[in-house]
Amino acid sequence: MKDPDIKLYALTTCIHCKDTKDFLDKCGVDYDCVNVDKLDDDERRRMIEEIKKANPGCAFPMLLIGPKVIIGFKKEEIREALNLE
């Protein structure tokens, strides 16, 4: 079965983002990661608008697993969304 599309919006300095990356890596899943703090001005503005649609406070990390949005490092929610035991 193909993995759902997974996209992580993160900050390079954020510890919860690091925890999320480490956890996804440990689970062996493929994901795209956007480090929002490293984007240039225009791209960053565009990305913030996109993030705010699902996450008005623009909190990090924000993880999209298929249709599911997980804000913050919520291990159990991630595990469930990935259908992991």
DSSP string, 29-59: ---EEEEGGGS-HHHHHHHHHHHHHH-TT--
Examine residue 31 and tell whether it contacts another protein (CB under 8 A): no
Q: What does the alpha-carbon distance between residue 23 and residue 45 come to, in Å, rounded to a whole number?
A: 28
Give the shortest CB-48-to-another protein separation in angstroms. 6
| Residue from 3, 4, 18, 69 in contact with another protein (CB under 8 A) | 18
Residues 50-79 close enough to bind another protein by CB under 8 A: 52, 56-60, 72-74
Give the shortest CB-65-to-another protein separation in angstroms. 18
Q: Which amino acid is at 73?
A: F
